[in-house]
């Protein structure tokens, strides 16, 4: 068995040497897929927003940016660098069916062996409008959204970060399999979030919150907490940082391994057991509920 393994190693070494030096120019017309040469791509399309109510933006890989533009049209741009051998096959995919605008990248499937480079940025500039729905998804890449208004906004990424700011919606859903989630100046009736492996940072928003981070921290910063929040982490800390002492808040914390701490003087503790990882109490009449669960991590309200 060892002799056979050694023979294959020698054969592989000889073949690699031949491909590298190519003394008789035998392989000059053969493409083994190992070229790292890239070509820049730039493509732009414009779509009238009159009939469009729903946005469906999806990529297999590459970054997505959705921003408010300065024109009355929806402007879609694809920029980036891709392997030369597939550059002419990478195109914008824009289609309108009824009230739905679908945007994506048309690229060839990776068949064979070798290295294929796909480094793309998909940018969608939107006119000011209240969309009925926006579904934005990337398999691998970062997603940034700013100035979007809609009834239902859903953002998903398999591997990458999500950042939203200045979002106004009825419901917001954020999900990252592996990556951080951050949100600033958001407004919604309900915002749900889920981070598989990564932290969550929420700042200056107004929404009922329901979310979890399997492995990572949750940081919530706001002037005051005016709507219910249900925050859960598997392994990580939860910190709620408020500018004002709560006037009417119920605190319900339970941790598998960790402690809970409330820094405000007006907190009336009803149950506190460090050994059991329990902290419950109220500010005022306790109309708003802050519910925190940690598997392994601490909770701080400050």
- Which region among 2-6, 15-19, 147-151, 283-287 has the lowest average model confidence (pLDDT)? 15-19
Domain ranges across the chain: 1-30, 36-167
Contact call for residues 211 and 191 (beta carbons, < 8 A): yes
Q: Is the dihedral of CA 66, 71, 77, 79 positive or negative?
A: negative
Amino acid 33: pLDDT: 45
Contact call for residues 139 and 130 (beta carbons, < 8 A): no
pLDDT tens digits for range 61-85: 899 999 999 999 999 999 988 878 7
Contact call for residues 199 and 216 (beta carbons, < 8 A): yes
CA distance linking residue 85 with residue 254, whole number of Å:
56
Amino acid 84: pLDDT: 80
CA distance linking residue 60 with residue 82, whole number of Å:
14
When computed from its CA atoms, the radius of gyration of the chain, rounded to whole angstroms, is: 26
Give the pairing type, strands 162-178 and 149-159.
Answer: parallel
- pLDDT top residue among 43 and 112: 43
Chain position carrying tokens 């998804």: 137
pLDDT tens digits for range 177-203: 999 999 999 999 999 999 999 999 999
The yes-or-no verdict on residue 255 having pLDDT over 80 is yes
Chain position carrying tokens 């049209």: 73
**Residue 10's pLDDT band (cuts 50, 70, 90):** low
Contact call for residues 108 and 118 (beta carbons, < 8 A): no
Contact call for residues 41 and 79 (beta carbons, < 8 A): yes
pTM for this model (two decimals): 0.85
Q: Which residues are within 8 A (CB) of 77 and not within 5 positions of it... i.e. 6 or more apart? A: 42, 43, 44, 121, 122, 123, 125
Q: Is the dihedral of CA 7, 13, 14, 19 positive or negative?
A: positive
């Amino acid at each position: 068995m060892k002799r056979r393994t050694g023979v294959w190693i020698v054969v592989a070494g000889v073949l690699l040497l031949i491909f590298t030096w190519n003394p008789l120019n035998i392989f000059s017309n053969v493409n083994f897929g190992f070229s790292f040469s890239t070509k820049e791509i730039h493509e732009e399309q414009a779509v009238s927003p009159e009939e469009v109510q729903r946005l469906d933006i999806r990529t297999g890989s590459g970054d997505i940016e959705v921003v408010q533009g300065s024109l009355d049209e929806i402007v879609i741009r694809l920029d980036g660098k891709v392997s030369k051998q597939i550059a002419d096959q990478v195109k914008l995919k824009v289609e309108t069916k009824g009230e739905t605008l679908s945007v994506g990248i048309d690229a060839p499937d990776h068949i064979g062996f070798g290295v294929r480079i796909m480094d793309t940025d998909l940018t969608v500039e939107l006119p000011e409008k209240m969309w009925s729905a926006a579904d934005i998804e990337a398999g691998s890449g970062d997603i940034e959204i700013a100035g979007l208004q809609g009834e239902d906004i859903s953002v998903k990424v398999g591997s990458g970060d999500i950042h939203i700011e200045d979002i106004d919606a009825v419901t917001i859903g954020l999900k990252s399999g592996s990556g951080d989630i951050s949100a600033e100046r958001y407004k919604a009736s309900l915002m749900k979030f889920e981070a598989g492996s990564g932290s969550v940072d929420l700042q200056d928003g107004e929404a009922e919150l329901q979310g979890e981070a399997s492995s990572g921290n949750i940081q919530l910063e706001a002037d005051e907490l005016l709507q219910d929040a249900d925050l859960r982490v598997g392994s990580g800390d939860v910190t709620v940082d408020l500018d004002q002492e709560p006037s009417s808040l119920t605190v319900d914390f339970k941790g598998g391994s960790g402690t809970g701490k409330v820094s405000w003087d007006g907190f009336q503790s009803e149950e506190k057991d460090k050994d059991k990882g329990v902290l419950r109490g109220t500010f005022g009449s306790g109309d708003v509920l802050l519910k925190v669960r940690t598997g392994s991590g601490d909770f701080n309200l400050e």
